Structure 1
Amino acid sequence: MPDTSSRQVTITDIAREAGVSVPTVSRVVNGRDDVSAATREKVEALLRHHGYRVQRGPRPSRAFLLDLVFDDLDSPWAVEIIRGVEEVAHAAGAGTVVSAVHGRSASAEAWLQNLHRRASDGVLLVTSDLQQDLGPVLRESSVPLVVVDPAGLPPVGVPSVGATNWAGGVAAAEHLVRLGHRRIAHVGGPAHLLCSRARLDGHRAGVEAAGLVLQDELVREGDFRQGSGLREAQALLDLPEPPTAVFAASDQMALGVYEAVRRRGLRVPEDLSVVGFDDLDLATWASPPLTTVRQPLAEMGAAAARTLLDLADGREVPHPRVELATTLVVRSSTAPPRGLAASDTESGGK
């Protein structure tokens, strides 16, 4: 009889007990034939002992189910990605399972176990450090993977969909330079994320192209949330010579900058111009409406879902790395610095 007290065992536990790799267990679970008979017998015995149902035969050609996996779901940014994925999935007659693994390996293991049971057509992994760990396991299990807004360089052979983060950073900096700003600060996202580094590098390139220097004291690291925008903007406003403009690497952090300005009795854009990144709905409703770099989030989700469906149907992906264009959207949060007349600056924006 199965050991019913151990039904929550993970594939990693089975691999450890059998003395084999996690991909080897995944191959057995998915009925792959590239495992030695002795190893298969040992793993299957442990799976039976722990009550884990072994899938016999190859994976179904189509389950009409896509797995969409985030580290967290606490941002309107994630909603836009979901909207794009769901639109394409619905049109294809497929369902979407949305999960958050919170960056924890235990959560990832539980999700991976559930994935095998669902026999999903494939996985869309969004801005997650798990891409390096899950990529090989999914590949060994013959589960297609597409990475959306990759946290780092995607595993070899894994398609990805992102945005032109570097170009967006350049556009934000050039807009502020054209308005006459010379001390332009940057509040970035987590430095380990590829998109954060690209936005900062683009900002730096735009500033340096104007013959200016992005000083170290003007570069701050946040976490894409409002609280970090508030914290880092307060530190910038405490400088002996505060910036006259801030490029925040997310709209949420830009709103945190707004709050720091309000608490000082100052105003946007009269005392501090602010540019965000994403163009979420909240950017339009901010007071004043936020100048921002539009990241086509829904379109990114849709493009990734189409790529995953192609892989599930056995079609080749002609362009494994896709970057959709960002666009500067000029609203009312940017203006020439105080004391510099508008007529002294070159009109900017698109």
Structure 2
Amino acid sequence: MGSKTKYTIVKEKITEWIRTGRVKPGDKIYSEHELVRLFGVSRHTVRQAVGDLVHEGWLYRERGAGTFCSGKSGLPLERLTTEQAEQSLLLPSAPARKTIGVITTYISDYIFPTIIKGIESYLTSHGYSLTLACTDNDAGKERLCLESMLSQNIAGLIVEPTKSSSFNPNMKIYLELEQRSIPYLMINQFYPQLMPSHMVVDDERGGFLVTEHLIKLGHKKIIGIFKVDDLQGISRMRGFIRALRKHRLPVFPDMIVSYTTEEQDDGHILAKLRDFFPLSSPGAHTAAVCYNDQIALHVLDMLRNQGLRVPEEFSITGYDDSYLAEATEVKLTTVTHPKTLMGIEAARWIVNAVENRNSQEGAVVYEPQLVIRSSTAPPKEMSAVHFS
């Protein structure tokens, strides 16, 4: 024990709090200042220990709110000794657990793994298992996913809707869930015609925040690039237009580039963008509000290929504050999304609905925050923006 470093002591003590249940999933841990005082160590030591625990999945951070327990229990898999692994195999089998279904539009990248991690951490710590399905934002695949979930006798369902801005052809299956008293919760967006319980970000507010940020920097003609077959894109577009109107800036048809799921590959969107910038219009546009961080990076790459500098000659904003926002040397100004927190709270909601037979109808709306980084700046005077 005497040979342990201060960093190791801090790290092991926090994991002990989590394993023993002193700190539960979703609980906020002590602040950095409190940990420094509690352990009598330097701020650097605390930051290193907490940073490692975040990386390993024990903790997660929410900007402006603090550091929270992610609900991971037991020893990390890579830390198990051979003896510990053999002992775990000799333990009696756990009783069958209730299963919660989770359906997302995408699963392999962007913000979705973080949301799922939050869901899984809470469900696991409360004795539930998770079954996962992905629709690729296709209504036909969503129907198959729903039918599969019903055949597995799930206890509850968390679902991210498919193409939520149009009428959903799978309404009968959702109504069947209600007939079977299977609670379900929609996240990120929802089907208005069903009036379901849901957890969403105030996307109109988010679209407004990034647009107003650019306006206050001095940009007067701003492109909006929005996905229009889901409510998130429509809401972000509304915020974009509302900010322009508030500041009495004209809204021209050529200021909005729209696309659908089928058109979302970067080549299609960038082709549309080039059409919006004829060579005869120098300096017509000086900034772009992008639907999300992924699209913003595609636009950034296109500008680089054209020899244009961001933000000196053109400003870009993203949305979701994903890992992509800081993936390049130009860090994206963006809008926060409570990824892990939403996952944990969605799981908490569904478990409570299952165990208390209470649908808890209503909505949770998260307030977005603007994160200003290096991709935005005042427009360059007399600059000429050309796309070929």
TM-score by length of 1: 0.73
Could you tell me which residue of structure 2 aligns to residue 324 of structure 1?
Answer: 366
User: Aligned partners of 1:293, 1:246: CA distance in 2, in Å?
Assistant: 14
Cα deviation, 1:111-137, whole Å, max 9, x if unaligned, reads 344323422111111132456343212
Unaligned 5+ segments in structure 1 are 1-61, 341-350
Cα deviation, 1:225-254, whole Å, max 9, x if unaligned, reads 544553343333337253100000110000
Could you tell me which residue of structure 2 aligns to residue 23 of structure 1?
Answer: none
Of the three residues 238, 241, 250, the one matched with 1:201 is 238
Cα 1:180/1:109, change in 2 over 3 Å: closer
Equivalent positions of 1:182-261 (< 5 A) are 182-189=220-227, 191-223=228-260, 226-238=266-278, 240-241=281-282, 242-261=284-303
User: Aligned partners of 1:258, 1:327: CA distance in 2, in Å?
Assistant: 22
Letter in 2 for 1:298: T
Of the three residues 194, 212, 224, the one matched with 1:155 is 194
1:127 aligns with 2:161: yes
Q: Offset of 1:70 from its aligned partner? A: 1.8
Q: Offset of 1:273 from its aligned partner? A: 0.1
Cα 1:104/1:273, change in 2 over 3 Å: closer
Cα 1:109/1:249, change in 2 over 3 Å: closer
Cα 1:128/1:134, change in 2 over 3 Å: farther
Could you tell me which residue of structure 1 aligns to residue 203 of structure 2?
Answer: 165
Of the three residues 163, 168, 175, the one matched with 1:136 is 175
1:267 aligns with 2:309: yes
Maintained 8 Å contact 1:179/1:336 = yes
Q: Offset of 1:155 from its aligned partner? A: 1.0
User: Aligned partners of 1:186, 1:113: CA distance in 2, in Å?
Assistant: 37
Of the three residues 288, 306, 317, the one matched with 2:348 is 306
Letter in 1 for 2:185: V
User: Aligned partners of 1:209, 1:222: CA distance in 2, in Å?
Assistant: 25
Cα 1:134/1:150, change in 2 over 3 Å: farther
Q: Offset of 1:63 from its aligned partner? A: 4.5
Cα 1:317/1:111, change in 2 over 3 Å: closer
User: Aligned partners of 1:143, 1:319: CA distance in 2, in Å?
Assistant: 13
Q: Offset of 1:192 from its aligned partner? A: 2.9
Maintained 8 Å contact 1:274/1:291 = yes
Maintained 8 Å contact 1:138/1:144 = yes
Cα deviation, 1:143-199, whole Å, max 9, x if unaligned, reads 21111122541613x21110010110111011001100001110001x231111110
User: Aligned partners of 2:137, 2:288: CA distance in 1, in Å?
Assistant: 30
Cα deviation, 1:243-282, whole Å, max 9, x if unaligned, reads 1000001100001110221121111111110000011011
Cα deviation, 1:200-226, whole Å, max 9, x if unaligned, reads 111111111111022110100134654
Maintained 8 Å contact 2:159/2:184 = yes
Maintained 8 Å contact 2:197/2:360 = no
Could you tell me which residue of structure 2 aligns to residue 8 of structure 1?
Answer: none
Letter in 1 for 2:380: R
Q: Structure 1 residues 70-79 or 167-176, which shifts more?
A: 70-79
Q: Offset of 1:300 from its aligned partner? A: 2.0
Cα 1:329/1:108, change in 2 over 3 Å: closer
- Sequence identity of aligned pairs in percent? 24
SS at match of 1:201: helix
Unaligned 5+ segments in structure 2 are 1-95, 383-388
Letter in 2 for 1:139: E
Maintained 8 Å contact 1:249/1:276 = yes
Aligned residues: 277
User: Aligned partners of 1:320, 1:63: CA distance in 2, in Å?
Assistant: 27
User: Aligned partners of 1:225, 1:275: CA distance in 2, in Å?
Assistant: 19
Letter in 2 for 1:294: T
Letter in 2 for 1:76: Y
Q: Offset of 1:106 from its aligned partner? A: 5.3
Cα 1:238/1:88, change in 2 over 3 Å: farther
Cα 1:232/1:305, change in 2 over 3 Å: farther
User: Aligned partners of 1:96, 1:235: CA distance in 2, in Å?
Assistant: 46
Could you tell me which residue of structure 2 aligns to residue 70 of structure 1?
Answer: 104
Q: Offset of 1:319 from its aligned partner? A: 5.8
Maintained 8 Å contact 2:135/2:162 = no
Could you tell me which residue of structure 1 aligns to residue 72 of structure 2?
Answer: none
* RMSD of Structure 2 on Structure 1 (CA): 2.3
Letter in 1 for 2:274: Q
Cα 1:121/1:70, change in 2 over 3 Å: same
Q: Offset of 1:140 from its aligned partner? A: 1.9
Cα 1:105/1:222, change in 2 over 3 Å: closer
Letter in 1 for 2:275: A
Q: Offset of 1:302 from its aligned partner? A: 2.0
SS at match of 2:194: coil
1:91 aligns with 2:91: no
Q: Offset of 1:317 from its aligned partner? A: 5.3
SS at match of 2:206: helix
